[in-house]
Amino acid sequence: MSLRPSLEALYVSHGPVVLRRARQLLGDEAEAQEVLHDVFMSLLQDPGQFAGLSSPMTFLYRMTTNAALGRLRRRRTRERLLAVNHAGREEPSHPSPEALVELRARLLSLPDELARVAIYYHMDGMTQDELAGVLGCSRQWVGKLLQQLEAHEQRKVGP
């Protein structure tokens, strides 16, 4: 059996969810479209990365979150380099809601694993059991990650 028909079916059935997730995290339609294509190109190039240990949706959700976080980090690096190269020049601003800007800034300050936990827990409202399923770990480990996240957030808000 060829991978192509099943991948095409997966794209048709889950592509809109992947796009919506990427759009939600990135706040940019063009970048969200690129993440959608990156996720499915990655699966086309290496179908073995989905080992069937979770549902396809859980796997795609995790891939999309990771791809979006990578893009946010690259965007931050690119903006920092542009600021250094164009010191004194005014950069055009892209309007976005303050809450999303603050959320993205906080996500960038977190280690990858804690950033994923923050997104799943705070933004998506997942339970600890759901988090354990998505992250592929125990509920006890999720509790420890949430404690680490809380400690990290308190350090940022502290005196």
DSSP 90: P
Q: At what angle do helices 56-85 and 3-26 cross, to 10 degrees?
A: 50
Instruction: Report whether 34 contacts 42 (CB < 8 A).
Output: no
Residue 5: per-residue pLDDT: 55
Domain positions in the chain are: 1-95, 110-159
Among 29-38, 71-80, 101-110, 117-126, the range with the most confident prediction by mean pLDDT is: 29-38
CATH architecture, domain defined by 1-95: Orthogonal Bundle (1.10)
Residue 92: per-residue pLDDT: 40
Instruction: Count CB neighbours of 152 within 10 A.
Output: 16
**50-98: pLDDT as tens digits:** 877 788 888 999 999 989 988 888 777 666 655 655 454 444 444 356 6
Give CA–CA dist 157/155, Å, rounded.
Answer: 6
- Give me 141's structure tokens: 């480990």
**111-132: pLDDT as tens digits:** 888 888 888 887 778 888 888 8
Residue 121 to residues 18, 130, 131, 133, 143, Cα–Cα distance (Å): 18, 9, 7, 13, 11
CATH architecture, domain defined by 110-159: Orthogonal Bundle (1.10)
Instruction: Report whether 37 contacts 43 (CB < 8 A).
Output: no
With a CB cutoff of 8 Å and minimum separation 6, the contacts of 113 are: 135, 145
Indicate yes or no: pTM above 0.75.
no
